[in-house]
Structure 1
Amino acid sequence: MAQIDTLFLYNNHEVLRFSDLVVGEGVQANQFCIRHGDRAALIDPGGDLTYTPLTIALSRRISLDGLDYILASHQDPDIIASLPRWLMHTRSQVVVSRFMASNRACRLWVAMVRKLGPRMIVPQHGGYFAGEQVGHFLDWLAALECGVDLLDSQSYRLPVSEQDLTFNKCI
C-alpha cells in the first residue's frame, strides 16, 4: 500500500514523498511532489508499475490538472518508464536534471546545496537524511568518485594480449 510522507509543510507549500507503490518484484523508488497552492511538480514519476498507485495517491493530495512539471533525475526505467502515460493524461512539461559525470560535478553540486542549508535530503531510493546526517551525506558525496573518475587504463585496452599484438606485427 502506498505510503505518503509530508517532508515539508509551510503555508501553501508542501513537499510529499510517495513510497511502497510497487508490490512484488518491481523496483522500489521514491516519487516526490512539490505543491505550491494549486500548482505542482512531480519528481521521478517512476516505472510502469507505479503509475496507477501513484496517480491514485497523488490525486488524493492535488488536482492532476495542476500538475505543471514532471522532473526526471535520470533516464532509468524505474524513474521514467511511466512518463508517456503522465504526458498523455496531464498537461505537464518534462524537465531532465543534470548527470553527475565526475567528482568535480559532485563537488560543485554539494557547494551549491550547502548554501541552501538543507535540513533534509531525500534520495531516489530508500530513506532520507535529516539533521547531522545531511552534513555526513554531503561530505560523502563531495568525495565520491564517479563517472569519468572511474576510468583508468583498463577501460581503454585492446581486447587481446600484448603477445598477440607482437605476433601480429611480425606477420
Structure 2
Amino acid sequence: MPYELFRHKGHVCLMFSDLCDEGGGAVQANQFLIVNDDTGAIIDPGGNLAYSELYLAMTRHFAPSRLSAIVASHADPDIIAALDRWMTATPDAKLYVSTLWERFVPHFCKPGKTTGRIIGMPDSGMRIPIGNSELIALPAHFMHAEGNFQFYDPISRILFSGDLGVSLMAGKQAQQVITSLSPMPPGMEAFHRRYMVSNKILRFWARMARQLPIDMIVPQHGAPLQGPAVKQFIDWVEGLSCGIDLMTDANYAIPR
C-alpha cells in the first residue's frame, strides 16, 4: 500500500516504499506518484525489481497510461532502469532527465523506443507542467550525480530530494515520518559523508533550500523528514564534511 504524503482538492502525492524484495540484497527505494487535474507524473520509478508491483499498485489510484511525465532525478539503475517497460506502459509520457544523461538513458531501452520522448533538463533546472500545476526541477548537481535534480511541488510544499536526506531502513519503516534528527536516523550520516561530493555543494544547496517554503523533505531512500527535522537537516548538511573533503593520498594508493 502506498503512503499518502498529501491530498487536497484533487492534488495527490503518494509514496511507494516497500515494492522491492529487500531479501534479494537490493537497496530500499521509494517511488512517487503526483496527480493533479487528472494528469499524473511519476518520480524516480525505479528498476525492474519494482516495476511490476509499482504498476499494479498505481492502477488502484491512477491509470499509468494517463501519465504525462516520467521524471528522473538522475540515471542510476534504481532510478530509471525499467525505462523500457515504462515507455511501453505510458505511450504519451515524456521522460524528463538531465541533459547530461539524455543520450545515456536510451541504453535502458530497445532501439528507437525513446525517440522524441526525452526532454533534457538544463543545468539551471526548469518547470514541468502537471495538470494545472507544476513540478519545479531544482539543480542538485553532485548530490550525488553529476547531472542531478530535485523536484519541488509548490502545492504540497514537498521537496522530493533524491539522494539527499537519505536514511537506511526497510520499506515499511520508511513510512514512519521523521520529525527530529535527534537521534540521527540510521545510516544518514555515513551515507551523506560518502555519497555527497563536498561541503561546498551542500552549502550552495542549503542557501537555495532556505528560499522555499518546505513542509516535507522526501528522499528516494528511507523516511520523509517533516516538522523540525526539515530545518535541522538543512542546518546539519550545511556544515557536513563529506566526499572529497575527507579524501587523502591514502585513499589513492596502489593495492598490495
In structure 2, the gaps of 5 or more residues are 99-140, 144-196
- Structure 2 Cα separation of the partners of residues 99 and 62 of structure 1: 33
Compare 5-14 and 98-107 and name the one that shifted more.
98-107
After superposition, the Cα gap between the structure-2 partners of 1:142 and 1:95, relative to the gap in structure 1 and judged at 3 Å, is farther
| 1:122 counterpart residue number | 218
- Structure 2 Cα separation of the partners of residues 44 and 144 of structure 1: 26
After superposition, the Cα gap between the structure-2 partners of 1:42 and 1:145, relative to the gap in structure 1 and judged at 3 Å, is farther
- Structure 2 Cα separation of the partners of residues 143 and 71 of structure 1: 30
1:68 counterpart SS class? strand
After superposition, the Cα gap between the structure-2 partners of 1:128 and 1:87, relative to the gap in structure 1 and judged at 3 Å, is same
- Structure 2 Cα separation of the partners of residues 152 and 137 of structure 1: 27
2:219 counterpart SS class? coil
Asked if 1:104 corresponds to 2:200, the answer is yes
CA contact under 8 A between 1:38 and 1:63: conserved in structure 2?
Answer: no
Displacement of 1:110: 2.2
**Residue of 12, 16, 19 corresponding to 2:17:** 19
What letter is aligned with 1:92? A
- Flag the structure with higher helix content: 1
What letter is aligned with 1:55? Y
1:122 counterpart SS class? strand
What letter is aligned with 1:5? Y
Compare 119-128 and 145-154 and name the one that shifted more.
145-154
- Structure 2 Cα separation of the partners of residues 127 and 63 of structure 1: 26
- Structure 2 Cα separation of the partners of residues 150 and 53 of structure 1: 39
Aligned length: 158
| 1:7 counterpart residue number | 5
* Structure 1 residues 110-133: Cα deviation after superposition (integer angstroms, max 9, x where no partner): 222222221111111111111001
After superposition, the Cα gap between the structure-2 partners of 1:143 and 1:71, relative to the gap in structure 1 and judged at 3 Å, is farther
- Structure 2 Cα separation of the partners of residues 68 and 102 of structure 1: 35
**Larger-Rg structure:** 1
Structure-1-length-normalised TM-score = 0.79
| 1:28 counterpart residue number | 28
| 2:93 counterpart residue number | 92
Displacement of 1:144: 3.0
2:29 counterpart SS class? coil
What letter is aligned with 2:76? D
CA contact under 8 A between 2:65 and 2:89: conserved in structure 1?
Answer: no
- Structure 1 Cα separation of the partners of residues 83 and 142 of structure 2: 19
- Structure 1 Cα separation of the partners of residues 28 and 65 of structure 2: 26
| 1:45 counterpart residue number | 45
Compare 66-75 and 44-53 and name the one that shifted more.
66-75
What letter is aligned with 1:95? Y
After superposition, the Cα gap between the structure-2 partners of 1:46 and 1:143, relative to the gap in structure 1 and judged at 3 Å, is same
Asked if 1:143 corresponds to 2:143, the answer is no
